[in-house]
Amino acid sequence: MNSVNMSQKVPAVTHEDAGQRLDNFLLKRYGSIPKSHLYKMIRKGEVRVNSKRIAVHHRLTEGDKLRLPPKLLHQPEQIGAKPHYPRNLVQYLNDNILYEDQDIIIVNKPNGLAVHGGSSVSYGLIEVLKDAWPQWPGLELVHRLDKDTSGCIMLAKRRQSLVRLHTLLKNNQIKKYYYAIVQGKWQGGKTVNAPLSRQQVGVFKERFMRVEANGDPATTHISVLKSFEQATFVEAQPVTGRTHQIRVHTAFMGSPIIGDSKYGHKATNQDWKKQGFGRLYLHAHKLIIPLNEEPIVVSAPLPKDFSDFLEYFSKD
């Protein structure tokens, strides 16, 4: 009887779920379990799709059959639970819609807001917007930004739009441009070609990306916009879309992004924080999307804490 009850609790992969990563699909439903525990279950083969072991980043297809361990099924499902978030956050997001049409919405995401909830945060951008904008039940993230990165984030209103945009991303047809303030004088040239490999370190298998000869190809174009005594203001265009690509490439070339707690200089970051400059100085400032006959070009203005830091250097 228990096995029947457990099988009834296994979530179905619907048309709207298709294309989602396995980890995101499960975290939406069982966000009360630590992410590290969920990843361990997947790596050990306790979670299976169509009776096969799969990777954490495996993308689901409509009708996929999931097999989940009892310890996961006993977790309370969170689908339909209302996220708890500051009410002024919705007003901020409404005021910072950069572009909208029948297919997509592009929002200027603030620094410090995760794109989705998980074990360490109770809500993210997508949970807030789905709650605040019920008129778009199919709203989904097209891509990601790190929690501490601000700027352009793209969401699809419909499943068909999401599939089209994912295809454009896969073929590197959507152009992304970022502003960054990196440590010291930039000496890395105009293009960084350095393959990246995913690493997991520590007890909780924290994810890191590293430059390794046998890694996935990764290319970033860098343009110096302004050079200061202690830092350089650059525009970065990732040609490929690897995780943490700009952060790893700038650090690899000896000029990590100021405020980067994972790949940067800890002591330097602490010094800047004491002076009131504590964020990650990475901002997704422009997207060019060839979705229609005329490409959609969207820009996000620099947030005040970013422009204040530039002004600080300009006074030197």
Q: Hey, which residues are catalytic here?
A: 146
Whole-angstrom distance, CA of residue 120 vs CA of residue 31: 9
Pairing outcome for strands 296-299 and 282-289:
antiparallel
Query: Angle of helix 22-29 relative to helix 35-43, nearest 10 degrees?
Result: 130
Classify 53 in phi/psi space as left (phi over 0), alpha (psi -120 to 50) or beta: beta
Task: Look at the block and give the residue holding tokens 């970033």.
Answer: 220
First to last CA, the chain: 73
> For residue 18, which phi and psi values (nearest 5 degrees)?
-55, 135
Quote the strand ranges of 115-159, DSSP E.
140-141, 150-156
Which DSSP letter does residue 306 get?
H
DSSP 139: -
Q: Are 313 and 290 in contact (CB under 8 A)?
A: no
DSSP states along 198-245: EEEETTTTEEEEEE-TTSB--EEEEEEEEE-SSEEEEEEEESS--TTH
- Categorise residue 193: left if φ over 0, alpha if ψ from -120 to 50, beta otherwise: beta
* CA torsion, ordered 126, 132, 135, 141, to nearest 10 deg: -10
Contact predicate 126/113, CB 8 Å: no
Tell me the C-alpha distance between 125 and 289, whole Å. 21
CB 302 within 8 A of CB 277: no
